[in-house]
Amino acid sequence: MNNLGLAGKIAKAFINSKLTPLLVVASLLLGFFAVFTTPRDEEPQIVVPMIDIMVPFPGAKSDEVNNLIVKPLEKLMWEIPDVEYVYSYAGDGFGITTVRFKVGASPEDSLVKLYSKVMSNYYRMPEGAMNPIIKPKSIDDVPILAITLHSKELSSYDLRRIAEVVEDEIKQLQNISETTIIGSKPKEIDIYFDPAKLNAYNIFLPQVVQALQNANFSLPSGEFDKDNYRYKVRTGQFFKSKEDVENVVITVYQGKPIFIKDVARVEEGEGEIENYVQFGYGVQSGKDRNQIDNAVTIAVAKKTGSNAVVVAENVIEKLNEMKGRIIPSNVDITITRNYGETASEKANELIEHLLIATFSIVLLIAVTLGWRESLIVAVTIPVTLAIALFLSEMYGYSLNRVTLFALIFSIGILVDNSIVVLENIHRWFSMKKLSMEDAAVVATDEVGNPTILATFAVIVALLPMAFVTGLMGPYMRPIPINSSVAMFFSMLLAFILTPYLAIRWMKHDEEHKSPEALAKEDEAKADILVKLFNKIYMPLFQSRTKRWLFLGFAGMLLVISILLLVSRAVLVKMLPYDNKSELQVVLDMPEGTPLQETYRVAKQIADYVKNINEVKNYVIYVGQPAPFDFNGLVRHYYLREAPNLAQIQINLISKHDRKAQSHEIAERIRDDIAKIAKSNGAKYIAVVEPPPGPPVLSPIVAEVYGPDHKGQLYVANEIKKIFENTPGIIDVGIYDNNPQKEYLIKVDSEKAKRYGFTEDMIVKTVRIALAGHKVGLMHTSDDLHPVSIVVRLDEKYRTSIEDILSMKLPTPQGGVPLGSLVSVEQSSTERDIYRKNLQSVVYVIANVNDKVGSPVYPILDLWDKIKNIKTPDGKGVEELLTHQPELTDRYYVKWDGEWQVTYETFRDMGIAFGVAIVVLYILLVGWFKSFKMPAVIMSPIPFTLVGIIPGHFIMGAFFTATSMIGFIALAGIILRNSILLVEFAEQKLKEGYSLEEALLEAGIVRTRPILLTAAAIVVGAFVIIFDPIFNGLAIALIFGTVASTLLTLVVVPVLYYMIVGEERKLHLCPEVPITDKEDKCEM
């Protein structure tokens, strides 16, 4: 008792301390506090600042936008520190540059740096370009709620007017960030002119605009004093109603005032239809599937750091309160997205798994050691988890699927410390050599050093994973952080709490069992193990040939296991798809497709969707983007605002109410939807699933670089053809717009000036006639959004180029047809230009079906085909896996998408594993003062693969990033078993045992704690084996633990015998050659 180590001293200090129960209570209270106050999210909140800079450049072609706006802008952005990617797009009249900062960069600092850079260089903006629009985007901008108001009686415009009031009410709630109304348009006043009437009164369209602007004008005019009072004066008036607009005088014709209402039709409403949003019912709704309602959707995002569950509940409560007061009875409310509910459901489900895992381990201890011992474990696990949860909240982590999985994963590991200490206390109590207190302290101290070493070995193995870079880094970081914290505190609790509870709850065993009876029990148990290990160990100890045969057999198993990966019997994938309750269909029709045609095709797809068994409802969005998710944020789906673009949001019934997983449903419907779309001439169609991890542009992305944009497009289209003709590759698309037909109206300056017109007057006239022109706002107190006043020709007078050319312009001699002053040429729009990190790029995107499994394999299989594409310069294509080309002197294909994330993640995890191995070796060398002994202790690490890879093969699962986490974790976990064996054997050697006896005794005594800890890991991991994403981790832990534990019990003693035996032979009879010592030396 006088030579106690650190563990013994801790146990002695707390075994009768009044602080011990207080620490337990305090820890549990902190844990409960964390559970109820930590914000809940479904996924980890990845901080990756992305900022869009949008620059309108009216009249400029895409080449001009590229050269004058995009290139100079992206060069400036590239100068900003912490910028990782700069993506750019140049189209006709518009450019956008998206700046993505490094993961973890401060959003506020990033925005300030970017804004300062843009504004300090604003003077470089070319003449004609409009002010840049700077819009930061982050994961917190993703709406957690989508509230769809729909009705079969009301129009989309009527629903939007209701939605505007609802949105205003929702905005008043706590922790509400951005809200967006999707569907219809805000109220506006539209003035539709009749060109014949304008000509009859000799009125020019710009003249109308000027008259409206003059009439809708008011200013404060000053003040004056009278009768000891100061009066304010305002002159002019604003439009207050539709009638005010109708009664504006444009001109006087033949002594008669000509009002707006004399030459135009004035309407108040949504104006011309620019989008469709419609709601429909599916099989599982129980309603008429043929009914389709007009709809609008209110998308609601939460503030950073707020609780998604609470925010969603507050909004829904507010909605229920508004029913009948703001929302009429003929309007239905459907929540078409609720990430608060899914976050709560996932958190509750995982907490339930946490409890099941805890109960299972407690039951395991009860069966193997006794019910009193199990009660001790039942206390230590919750206390450890409580501390980990509290510290997780302090780090700023939310309560999400990854943080909770980290705790479930760590249960089987953290209980190991308590099991080892508890089992040894149980053994010492059985021996009855010391008092209860002294026995508990000595037992704790005996296993204290190997427990400390084993704990730090696990932490050293796990912690380097916290330094994985890229988007996957913050996604998986809670696993090594929370697990390491839990391991450290489980070690402390094993030394503090386990002895404290043991002397109070296990004392009854000694009261009714004599030492003789206990000794007989132990002898009976030991006798079985003695016979077993004699049969296993002694033949191997006595024969060098058998030792090498055994090690060769183990090595062969390892090689066979690795070959399962090489032969693709087990496929490698970043992460498998999760089982979600939503899918999305993304439809791109060719450029130039009218809104109505796009809607027709989308409606045809929706008619198929509504008959899918698992579908509850769906929402069609045409011409306007659906509420975006994290995937849509990265892919910029929120910019999908064009008449040829559509999305269909498909909502499935709860995963608890269906047999098929969402990915299976997506696979089942993908081909049918593609056939419908392609038969209607669709340019691109895809069934998009929420990604299981960090989102990418597409699972397969081929980035084509080269010296010439036309050449890039040629190579990209060749790759697209290869993709389309490769089985298993689906959802193929290319980032290239089909040039849209356009008419170029050129003004004849000479003719125009003869009639008193300038070029800009004619240009503006055509612009007003076709696109319309906002002349100002209606000034009312009843509207929540600005009411624009728009002037344009009536739709029936602008259906062809002939209508425009026949429009007459007023002159003193009478109306002159526009066609007589201009010439018309037919041409087409220019192609859009995409850039990445200052280089021109063309993206070819695709996905893979379940038969292929992972995007990695098509890249490898198609390598030669793509390399042999004949390029315009005749040099062929050079393929790159990890980086962009430094020069574009030839054509390159850089593989990106899921491959890039897979490569970065497995690379970083491989480095983390390498660092862990090196640090573990150094740690063990320092502990054992030997270079060989750490190699013996670490020898079982590769043999975990003997269980892990075949386990994936048996379960038909992908080898994923979570599988890799399991493998790395096992490197630390399995060392505990080796350390327990070696430490005990070393101790017995010091006590005078022979080498064979020491190893036999180590196997007999340490087998039970080793098997118990292995069983605890297996039981703890089993509860997550059916999770779609984390089953790889569970498979790795279960199969890897079983295989490596069984092999450890044999491999470690054999290697220890070989190394120590050779050293002892050299020491005992150095004159005999090593090859003869086995027979000639006595040990």
Of all helices (H) and strands (E), which one includes residue 395?
Answer: helix 371-395
Average pLDDT over residues 447-457: 85
- DSSP conformational letter for 730: E
Residues paired with 843 in a beta bridge: 703
Average pLDDT over residues 363-373: 82
Candidates 1050, 922, 908, 5; CA nearest to 457 is 922
Average pLDDT over residues 436-446: 88
Average pLDDT over residues 871-877: 85
Average pLDDT over residues 778-807: 89
Q: pLDDT tens for residues 1019-1054?
A: 888 888 888 888 899 999 999 999 988 888 888 888
Q: pLDDT tens for residues 907-923?
A: 888 898 898 889 889 98
Looking at residue 1079, its pLDDT comes to: 44
Structure-block tokens of residue 1059: 């190394």
d(CA 494, CA 384): 10
pLDDT confidence tier of residue 606, bands split at 50, 70 and 90: very high
Q: Examine the pLDDT at 1083 and tell me if it is beyond 60.
A: no
- DSSP conformational letter for 508: H
Same topology, domains 140-186+273-342+577-691 and 188-269+760-812? Answer is: no
Looking at residue 638, its pLDDT comes to: 93
Looking at residue 720, its pLDDT comes to: 95
d(CA 38, CA 399): 6
Q: Would you list the domain boundaries of the chain?
A: 50-137, 140-186+273-342+577-691, 188-269+760-812
Q: How many CA atoms lie within 13 A of 826 on its CB side?
A: 3
Helix (H, G, I), strand (E, B) or coil at 235: strand
Q: Examine the pLDDT at 898 and tell me if it is beyond 70.
A: yes
Looking at residue 1065, its pLDDT comes to: 56
Higher pLDDT, 789 or 540: 789
d(CA 504, CA 839): 72
Question: Quick check: 732 and 723 in contact, CB under 8 A?
Answer: yes
Candidates 180, 189, 109; CA nearest to 144 is 180
Structure-block tokens of residue 1038: 């279960």
Average pLDDT over residues 490-500: 91
Looking at residue 1064, its pLDDT comes to: 61
Higher pLDDT, 424 or 150: 150
Return the amino acid letter for 776. G
Q: What angle do CA 215, 216, 220 make, to 5 degrees?
A: 105
Average pLDDT over residues 432-460: 85
Structure-block tokens of residue 866: 């793509």
- DSSP conformational letter for 66: I
Candidates 745, 1000, 754, 952; CA nearest to 854 is 952
525: Cβ contacts below 8 Å, ≥ 6 apart:
none
Instruction: Give the domain 50-137 fold.
Output: Alpha-Beta Plaits (3.30.70)
Q: Examine the pLDDT at 234 and tell me if it is beyond 60.
A: yes
Residues paired with 231 in a beta bridge: 224
Q: Examine the pLDDT at 97 and tell me if it is beyond 70.
A: yes
Displacement of CA 711 from its chain's centroid (Å):
34
Looking at residue 510, its pLDDT comes to: 47
Looking at residue 520, its pLDDT comes to: 52
| Residue 374 region by backbone torsions, left for phi larger than 0, else alpha for psi between -120 and 50, else beta | alpha
Question: Quick check: 615 and 603 in contact, CB under 8 A?
Answer: no
869: Cβ contacts below 8 Å, ≥ 6 apart:
715, 718, 719, 876, 877
Q: Examine the pLDDT at 518 and tell me if it is beyond 70.
A: no
Average pLDDT over residues 563-577: 89
pLDDT confidence tier of residue 865, bands split at 50, 70 and 90: very high
What are the phi and psi torsion angles at 668 (to 5°)?
A: -70, -35
Question: Quick check: 478 and 388 in contact, CB under 8 A?
Answer: no
Q: Would you say domain 188-269+760-812 falls under CATH 3.40.50.300? A: no
d(CA 951, CA 561): 10
Q: Regarding beta strands 787-793 and 188-193, do their DSSP bridges make them parallel or antiparallel, or are they unpaired?
A: parallel
**Percentage of the chain exceeding pLDDT 90:** 50
Q: Examine the pLDDT at 1075 and tell me if it is beyond 70.
A: no
pLDDT confidence tier of residue 1, bands split at 50, 70 and 90: low
Q: What is the DSSP string of 878-903?
A: EEESSS--S--SSEEEEEEEHHHHHH
Average pLDDT over residues 331-353: 89
- DSSP conformational letter for 70: I
Average pLDDT over residues 523-541: 72
Q: Regarding beta strands 891-897 and 700-705, do their DSSP bridges make them parallel or antiparallel, or are they unpaired?
A: antiparallel
Q: Regarding beta strands 188-193 and 145-151, do their DSSP bridges make them parallel or antiparallel, or are they unpaired?
A: unpaired
Question: Quick check: 311 and 176 in contact, CB under 8 A?
Answer: yes
Number of CB atoms found within 10 A of residue 755's CB: 15
Average pLDDT over residues 794-818: 88
pLDDT confidence tier of residue 521, bands split at 50, 70 and 90: low
Looking at residue 791, its pLDDT comes to: 95
Q: Regarding beta strands 839-848 and 833-836, do their DSSP bridges make them parallel or antiparallel, or are they unpaired?
A: antiparallel
Q: Examine the pLDDT at 1003 and tell me if it is beyond 90.
A: no
d(CA 1026, CA 408): 13
Number of CB atoms found within 10 A of residue 656's CB: 8
Q: Examine the pLDDT at 984 and tell me if it is beyond 70.
A: yes
Looking at residue 1082, its pLDDT comes to: 42
Domain 140-186+273-342+577-691 sits in CATH at: 3.30.70.1320
This prediction has a pTM of 0.87
- Hunting for tokens 């849509």 — which residue is that? 632
Question: Quick check: 363 and 374 in contact, CB under 8 A?
Answer: yes
Q: Examine the pLDDT at 11 and tell me if it is beyond 50.
A: yes
Q: What angle do CA 507, 509, 512 make, to 5 degrees?
A: 115
Average pLDDT over residues 160-168: 95
